[in-house]
Structure 1
Amino acid sequence: MKSLLQDIWTNEERIGWDDVVPETLSQRFYCWYDHLENLESLAVPRCFRPKCGRWTQQHLHVFTDASSKGFGAVAYFRTVFEDHSVNVSFVMSKTHVTPVKGLTIPRLELQAAVEGLNLALTICRELEIDLRQVTFHTDSQTVLRWIHSKTCRFEVFVNNRIGKILRNTARRQWRHVAGDSNPADLCSRGIDPKDVDELAYFHRGPSFLTLDPSEWYTWEEIADPEERDINVIRVLAVKTEDENHAIDRCVARFSSLVKIQRVLAWSTKFTNNVRARLREEKPMGGELTVEEMVISLTKCIVRAKELAFAEEVYALRKNLELPLRSKLRNFKPFLDEDGQMRIGGRILLAPIDYAAKHPILLPASQLLTKRIIWDYHVRNIHVKTERLLTDLRSRYWILSGRKVVKSVLNNCWPCKRTSAKPSPPLMASLPVHRLTPHLAAFTYTGIDYFGPLTVRVGGRGRRHEKRWVSLFTCFTTRTVHLEVANGLSMEEFLLCFSRFVSLRGRPKVVYSDNGTNFVATEQELRQALKNLLLSTKNFRRQWLVNKLSGTSLHPMGPTSVVFGKGLYNPANGQ
C-alpha cells in the first residue's frame, strides 16, 4: 500500500486531490482491496516465550534488507531452554519505501542497516536489554565491507551512517545471511494480501535460528579493496592541544581563584629556580609577589582564550579578518602584549583605567570564567547578579555574562539561605457571609473604628478636639459607610449605629472586634431586648420579636482574619 501511494504521488500526470486515478493504478488498488478479507485468518503470536520451563539464553536478532521498492528490518527473540530446545518469536518490524530522489542498492542496504539499528535501540530501551548482546544480519556484502573497513574513504552519506553504526555497535555483531534465508526480504519487496500465507514464515522467523550457532551460515571476511581500485586520500592530522595541560588540571582541581594563582606561581617559580641552578645562576627566593600572582592569572586567561577562540586568535595573529560566523566580530577584539584578547572601541583617550577601556574577553564555556565570577562574588560579600556583573565589567567582558553569573549564583548556598522565602500557610476557606451573592448591601457588615483625628470646631473661640470615624464595611460588595463619632463610648457608637441603620437599613449580621464599646453595646442591646419582651403583652411581644430580631452582633478576636477583620482593616489604612 505504501508503494501504491508513492506511485500515485509521483505519477507523471501529476494527479490532484479531485482527479481520477489512472486505470493501471486503480486496478492495483482494487486488487489489493479485494484480497483484504484474507487477513482475517492472520494471527500474530505475541508471547516471546510460549513454552513453559526455565530458559538459559535469550538474544535479539535483527535482519535487514533493501530493494528498489523499499527497505526495512525485522527483529526476533531466540530463546534457549534448559532442555536445549530453541524458540524463535517475532518482536517487531519496520518498513519504508524507497526515497523519491532514488538511491543505489548498496546505499539502500546501508539505510536498511541503520533502520535495523534504530529498531534494536528502541527494543533495548523498552525491554532493558544490553545492545551489545544483539546480533545483526544483512545479505549485503557491500555493507559488511563498509562496516569492517579499517580506513575512512567514504563519501558523506556512507560515512555518516557507518559512523552511527560503529558508535553504537561492534563489528563482530554484524553477520552475513543468505538472501533466501533473510526474512526481511518481505519488508523490502512487500506482499499482497492474497499471499498472506507467506506471513506465517515471516512471523515464525528463519529456520536456521533454531540450530546451533556453529551450524549457521558463516561469511568469509572480504579483504579491503586494493589501493589502485579506489581513490585514497591520506591526511596527516596533528593534535596540538594538550588534554593534560597543567593549567587545565589546576583550574579543574581547585575552586578558589587565589589558590589557582598561588599554585601556578609556585610552580613557575620552582621551574625558574631549577633552570637557574642549571645555568649556575642565583635562584629567586622569598614569598610570592603581586607581580607573580598577576602573571599566573594572565597565563590562565591566555589558556582559556586559546581553547575557546582558536580561530579568532589565529586570525588576529596573522592580521586576518575574523570568520563570518564568529561571535566576536562586533567586539573588534585585539591581542595585547601579554597575549590576552581585549575588546576594542573608541574610548582609548578616556581618563579611566586601561582595563575598563578595553576589558578582557572571557568565554562563557570555560571553567576559569566561573572561578573568576565566584572570586568576585565572595570578595564583594555575596552581592546580587546586577552588582556582580557591573563589578566584573570593570575588568572583564564575559560572553553571555548575565546567564553565566546566574548559573554561578544558583550554586551559592549562603545566597540561597538569605534569599529563601518562607512558604505561607494555607488559609482557611472564606465564611459563607463573604460569599453569599444577590443580597442588598450591608446585609453582612463589619464595624471598626479609626482615629483620632484632630479637628477645629467653634466660631470665634475656636478649639481643637478629637474625633473618631466609625467604619461600616459590607462583607459581600466591599461597600464602605463612614460615621463621625465624638468618642469611643458605648453611647457614641449607638448613635453612629442608629444613623447607619436609618440610612442603609438593618443588617442581618454584624461583626466587630472585642472593643469595649462593641462588647458593651452587644450586652446592652441584648438586655434591653430581654426587658422589653418581658414588659410587653403577648401580641406586642410577637410584633417586637418580628421587628427587632434578625440583627446579631458578633465581637471577634484580634486575629480573626477570614471572618472580617482582614476585610475592613485595609480600609482603615485607606
Structure 2
Amino acid sequence: MALAWINTEPNTLKTFVANRVTEIQSLTQPHKWLHVPTQDNPADLISRGQSTQDFLESSLWKNGPLWLSQDSDMWPQFPLIKTDVLEKGPIRTTIVSLTLIISNPKKQAEIFVECLIEKYSSLRTLKHVIAYCQHFIKNTDLKNKKQRSLSPLSNEELDAGIIRVGGRIEHANIPQGQKHPIVLPHTHHITTLIIREEHIKRKHAGVQATLYGVRESFWPIDSRNTTRRIIRRSVRCFRVKPRGIDCIMGSLPEKRLTYSCLFLHVGVDYCGPFYIKEKRHRNRGREKVYVSIFVCFTTKAVHLDLVYGLTTEAFLDSLSKFFSRQGKAITVHSDNGTNFVGANKELRDLYEFIQKTKHDPDVKKFLSNERMNWNFNPPSSPHFGGLWEAPVK
C-alpha cells in the first residue's frame, strides 16, 4: 500500500497522505523504493511476537537479510500491481462557461473599477493605481502629446461624484475634509481599506481612537460597528488581547451569611485626601483630612467619620467615636495600613496590660469577654476586602 501511495500523483490522494507523499517524492525518486518480504523483515520479529531465546539466536535482527550484502541485481524484485488506492480523494471536475456581453460603456467602466478595487488590500497601492488610470484616461483625450503629463490630480478631478456631509461650519478655519467629510458605505471594500489603514497608522488603536482618525476626512455609515468588525479581524490585535481567565470565586465568609447585630462585624478603610478650610481662624489655609469608612458585614450599612490624619492616634479617636455611636464591634477587618497595624498593636498592648494588672474581678471579666479580634488581609492581595473597598469608589 505504501509503494502504491509513493507511485501515485499526490493531487489525487487525501490531504493527510498527499502531504507526506509530496515530501517523499521531492526528496527521493519513487522507483528507488522496493518491497521487503515478510520473512526477511527484522521489524516483524517484534511486531508478530517471538520468544526470547529465538530472538537472541536470530541472525536476521543482528545482520539483516542475506541478500542485503549482495549486489542490487540479486535483491528480490516484486512488480508493482496497479490497484485502486483507498486514500484517494474525490476528483471534482467543474466546467464553467462565462460569457459577458456589456453594451453600455459606462456600465462596463463601473464593473472594471469594482474589480480593480477588490483586487488590492492596501489603500496606498490602490490610490497609486487609480491615479495612474486617471492620468492615462486624461492623457488619451489630449491629441497634443506635449500637453500630456503625470502631474498630481486636481481636487476637482478627485471630488467628481463624491457625496459629502453637509453642515453649518462652512466658514470654520479647518481643512475642507473635516468640514465636509466624505460619506462611505459601511459594506464597501474602500471603507474597509480606509479604516484598516487608519488602525495601523495609529499603532493598532482601539475602536474609539481609530474612529476619531477616520472621521477627520471620512464619515462611514454605521461607523462604530464597521470599525469594531474590522479591528476584531486584525490578527495582531487578537494576539495581544487574549481572552481573560475566568477565575472561580471563593465562598463567602461565615460572618457575611449569619444574622447578627448592626456593626457587630465590620470592615474599615480610608478614602481621601480631602481639603477643608476651618472658619475658626481667619486666613487659615486648607487642611488635609481623610474619611474612615466602616462597613457592616451583615447589612452592608456604612458609617463615615472625618479623620485629621493617617496616624494611629487619629484612627483610634475615630474608632472610639464609632464604638460610642454604633456599639462595640467584635471583629474588625482591614488591610495592612500602618495606622491599622499600629491601632491593633496598641489595643493588644492595652489588653495585655489589663490582664496583668490587679483589677476588680468583674471589670477584668468584662474586659476579657469584650476583647476585639482584628483580622488583616494577606500581604499583596488586592482581591481581598471588596466589601469595604466598594464604598471608597
* TM-score in terms of structure 2 length: 0.48
TM-score by length of 1: 0.36
Question: Relative contact order: is structure 1 or structure 2 higher (C-alpha 8 Å, sep ≥ 6)?
Answer: 2
- Report the structure number with the largest CA radius of gyration: 1
